[in-house]
Amino acid sequence: MTNATSAAGLALIQQYEGFRAEPTPLPDGNWLVGYSHVRIGDAGDTVTREEADLALALDLAPFERLVNARVTRTRNQSQFDALVSFAFSVGAEAFEQSQVLRRVNAGDFVAAACAMDAWRKGDVSGETVIVDALVRRRAAEKAMFLRDLACDAAAPVFNRAKLDSAASVLGAPVKYAPAPDVKSAPVVQKMPAPAQRIVEILKSEPATEELLLTQVVANDVGEADDEIVTAHAKPVARTLDSVREATRRAYSEQSETVAKRGFFSWFKRGDGAAYHSVKPELQPDHRIRDMRRRAGRGLDLPRFDFSGSFENVGLVALLVFGFGLIALGGSLLFSGSGGAVEIAGAAALVTPGLAATLMAAFGLWRGSQKNAVY
């Protein structure tokens, strides 16, 4: 259904836009005349009310098309008039992103009318303040929007009114500013198309807009080339030298703790937790080592550490013992007659020998990974 603004809607808009017969200069060099009609360039002549009515109708046409296109719910004439007045006041972009439009399309008309009350601030002398004229205009638009809706009786005997804290905060007593003088209105510089598109994307969600407006770093925090500043509500600055010293000290403590571990402690837990339980966040990044090996030396075999520690001596002994069992089992198998007894004896020797050899080799490999220097 396509609507047009009625005489009642036009009267409301004219009342709050105000009539100016004489062209009034704007800060950007243009002129304001009639009911907030902007003349580009020359001031031109004075206007009569009939001429101002015609200019207002032309200015309202895009907003009438906007409301007809974006409001998907069936609405009555008074609702349409109120929405056109609201959109003309806040602008097309703000109207499309407002809770008023969302709640109208959701069919929650009372909530949509209440959402109009939030749009009561304006720029006065460089500050965003509550403007008396906007408070009154929102109240008039809200009343017009709800005028023709069915209303249930709410007798106080059965339904005594209670305080709504949210509404009381919105309507708390504050200093209302008068409407700013036309000549003091700030000149809004038009943003380039890419910047405007980025702003539209960032403001598409209220939570994102609120986060962007939150100041996370204090204004008095100095910036220096040798500082690391974290983006938190309370900034923390540390010099790079202190960070390097803290990292070196933490890694030294880890190395001393790992060196004190007992014999065979590496296989106390099958998932390697005995090794990684000591400051796991400081363990070397093996990906860096692998990239350096591929870039510098190509194929690099694992390096075993035989530095003489008690753990490595035990692992070497276990490795020799395993090889000995394998050799003994092999000699028994190949020197005998190949009977069942010789095969069973060889298997009994070779099986634990293989297990001991694999365990010792794994332990030595883990030790080389632990002591690798990057």
Active site residues: 17
**Contact at 8 Å (CB) between 342 and 329?**
no
State the residue for tokens 């209220």.
Answer: 206
Conformation bin of residue 234: beta by default, left when phi > 0, alpha when psi is -120 to 50: beta
Identify the helix (H) or strand (E) that includes residue 211. Answer: helix 206-212
Round to whole Å and give the CA distance between 44 and 51: 13
Three-point CA angle 130, 131, 134, nearest 5°: 115
Instruction: Enter the DSSP assignment of 131.
Output: B
Chain Cα centroid distance, residue 302: 45
Q: Among the residues of 262-339, which ranges form H helices?
A: 273-276, 286-296, 310-335
| Tokens, residue 305 | 């550490």
Torsion, Cα 195 199 200 205, to 10 degrees, reads 160
> Within 10 A of 316 (CB to CB), how many other CB atoms are there?
15
CA max distance for the chain: 128
Residues 6 or more apart whose Cβ sits within 8 Å of residue 298: none
**Contact at 8 Å (CB) between 229 and 217?**
yes
Q: Enumerate the β-bridge partners of residue 123.
A: 128
